[in-house]
């Protein structure tokens, strides 16, 4: 059922029908009676415009492309996609996803394809918060960076506020009476992420603010088994921390396991806080207090930025990281 059909049924020309159905009736000063007839016809025929035809004519697709390394498939940041989807929907757009699996060539292809599809804009997302170089295909395109940024470009970027997150983590500890003997588990990983550095800055500053300082950094990859091994060794060597700030919830899980192995009770013997705010945090016993990575919020912000201001405002948006309260820090 085409626009023409509707027009015929309402006894007008396609032009008139087009105006009315696109909300330009007033501008064109079309008689209310005609409007009514056309709308009724469209309704009865349950008319829906053909997007391809419209796109061909207007070269706008009301679609936005999200390209990412692993976000879509990975459990952690798929929330970014959800957030983006919701925001897009609110703007009357839909989303096309491309996952590069970390392959730069594939990534280029995906971007080209999306451009071919005439997406109205592209969100470029990464699993890890990092300082990157945007792929060349993205230059001079309407795009927003999600969970990453690039100093050499003026594309807007959306990242979590890791510095503030670091401060919050320490504040949770301090609220539980822990200010000395605080160790960080994880530390700076080899890969080019920026989260660790900023969080550490926040942690150190917050500690300094209460007249203390970081006792040590226990280095390990940000994974359960590595964290377990590292903390286990630390405890074996006689380490007796009062508080542990873990770089993510998986690290915290490893720390929990190591503490248990040594007969130390989380909260009562050692306070633990972490970053992520994933489901895992709520699965642990006792429930883990964790600084939330606001993925959904970030995703929707990115899309808002992309679709919002006609002229994209450059610069990075730092999204606050709220706190998910658990019971891994004793109350006092």
Partner DNA sequence: CTGTTAGCGCCTTCAA
Partner DNA sequence: TTGAAGGCGCTAACAG
d(CA 6, CA 14): 8
Contact 214, 184 (CB under 8 A): yes
Of residues 23, 40, 41, 49, which one binds DNA by CB under 7 A?
49
**Shortest Å distance, C-beta 55 to DNA:** 8
Helix pair 249-261, 224-236: axis angle to 10 deg: 40
What does 117 bind: DNA, a copy of itself, none (CB cut-off 5 to 8 Å by kind)? a copy of itself
Window of 52-60, 78-86, 209-217, 324-332 that interacts with DNA by CB under 7 A? 52-60
Q: Which two tokens stand for residue 138?
A: 């993205």
Of residues 9, 21, 178, 253, which one binds DNA by CB under 7 A?
21
**Shortest Å distance, C-beta 80 to DNA:** 31
Q: Is 265 in the site for DNA (CB under 7 A)?
A: no
Local structure of residue 149 (DSSP, 8 states): E
What does 2 bind: DNA, a copy of itself, none (CB cut-off 5 to 8 Å by kind)? DNA
| Side-by-side strand order, sheet with 243-246 | 216-219, 182-186, 243-246, 271-276, 289-292, 323-324
CB-nearer residue toward a copy of itself: 55 or 216: 55
CB-nearer residue toward DNA: 116 or 279: 116
| 3-state secondary structure at position 310 | coil
Q: Is 4 in the site for DNA (CB under 7 A)?
A: yes
Q: Is 191 in the site for DNA (CB under 7 A)?
A: no
Q: Which of residues 55-74 bind DNA (CB under 7 A)?
A: 56-58
**Shortest Å distance, C-beta 50 to DNA:** 3
d(CA 108, CA 121): 15
Q: Are strands 157-160 and 316-319 parallel, antiparallel or unpaired?
A: parallel
Q: Are strands 323-324 and 289-292 parallel, antiparallel or unpaired?
A: antiparallel
Q: Is 31 in the site for DNA (CB under 7 A)?
A: yes
CB-nearer residue toward DNA: 12 or 252: 12
State the DSSP H helix or E strand holding residue 117, giving kind and residue range, or none if neither.
none
CB-nearer residue toward a copy of itself: 149 or 228: 228
Q: Which two tokens stand for residue 227?
A: 């964290």
Window of 2-10, 86-94, 157-165, 171-179 that interacts with DNA by CB under 7 A? 2-10
Q: Are strands 157-160 and 182-186 parallel, antiparallel or unpaired?
A: unpaired
**Shortest Å distance, C-beta 63 to a copy of itself:** 8
Contact 63, 84 (CB under 8 A): no
DSSP readout, 55-111?
HHHH---SEEEEEESSTTTSTTTHHHHHHHHHHHHHTT-EEEEEE-TT-HHHHHHHH
**Shortest Å distance, C-beta 45 to DNA:** 11
d(CA 157, CA 10): 49
CB-nearer residue toward DNA: 4 or 233: 4
Q: Which two tokens stand for residue 117?
A: 């599809």
**Shortest Å distance, C-beta 8 to DNA:** 10
Of 305, 312, 261, 260, the closest CA to residue 284 belongs to 260
What does 26 bind: a copy of itself, DNA, none (CB cut-off 5 to 8 Å by kind)? none
CB-nearer residue toward DNA: 53 or 260: 53
**Interface contacts to a copy of itself, rule CB under 8 A:** 48-53, 55-56, 59, 61, 72-76, 78-79, 81-82, 85, 94-99, 112-113, 116-118, 224-225, 228, 250, 253, 257, 260, 279-280, 282-283, 285
Helix pair 195-209, 162-175: axis angle to 10 deg: 40
Of 95, 31, 28, the closest CA to residue 66 belongs to 95
CB-nearer residue toward a copy of itself: 83 or 243: 83
Which residue ranges make up the site for DNA (CB under 7 A)?
A: 2-4, 7, 11-16, 18-19, 21-22, 28-31, 34, 47, 49-50, 53-54, 56-58
């Amino acid at each position: 059922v085409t626009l023409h059909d509707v027009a015929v049924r309402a006894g007008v020309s396609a032009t008139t029908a087009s105006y009315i159905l696109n909300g330009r009736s007033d501008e064109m000063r079309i008689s209310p009676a005609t409007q009514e007839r056309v709308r009724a016809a469209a309704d009865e025929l349950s008319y829906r415009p053909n997007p391809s035809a419209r796109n061909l004519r207007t070269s706008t697709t009301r679609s936005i492309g999200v390209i990412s390394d692993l976000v879509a498939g990975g459990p952690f940041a798929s929330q970014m996609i959800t957030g983006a989807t919701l925001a897009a929907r609110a703007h009357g757009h839909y989303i096309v996803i491309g996952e590069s699996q970390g392959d730069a060539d594939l990534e280029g292809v995906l971007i080209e394809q999306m451009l071919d599809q005439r997406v109205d804009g592209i969100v470029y997302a990464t699993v890890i918060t990092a300082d990157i170089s945007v792929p060349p295909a993205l230059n001079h395109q309407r795009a927003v960076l999600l969970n990453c940024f690039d100093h050499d470009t003026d594309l807007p970027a959306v990242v979590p506020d890791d510095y503030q997150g670091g401060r919050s983590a320490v504040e949770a500890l301090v609220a539980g009476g822990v200010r000395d003997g605080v160790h960080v588990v994880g530390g700076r990983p080899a890969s080019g992420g920026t989260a660790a550095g900023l969080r550490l800055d926040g942690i150190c500053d917050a500690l300094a603010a209460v007249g203390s300082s970081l006792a040590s950094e226990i280095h390990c990859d940000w994974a359960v088994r590595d964290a377990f091994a590292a903390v286990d060794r630390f405890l074996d060597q006689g380490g007796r921390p009062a508080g542990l700030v873990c770089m993510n919830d998986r690290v915290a899980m490893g720390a929990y396991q190591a503490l248990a192995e040594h007969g130390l009770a989380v909260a009562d013997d050692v306070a633990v806080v972490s970053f992520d705010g994933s489901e895992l945090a709520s699965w642990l016993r006792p429930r883990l207090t964790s600084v939330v990575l606001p993925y959904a919020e970030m995703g929707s912000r990115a899309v808002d930025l992309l679709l919002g201001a006609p002229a994209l405002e450059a610069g990075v948006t730092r999204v606050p990281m709220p706190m998910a309260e658990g019971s891994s820090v004793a109350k006092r």
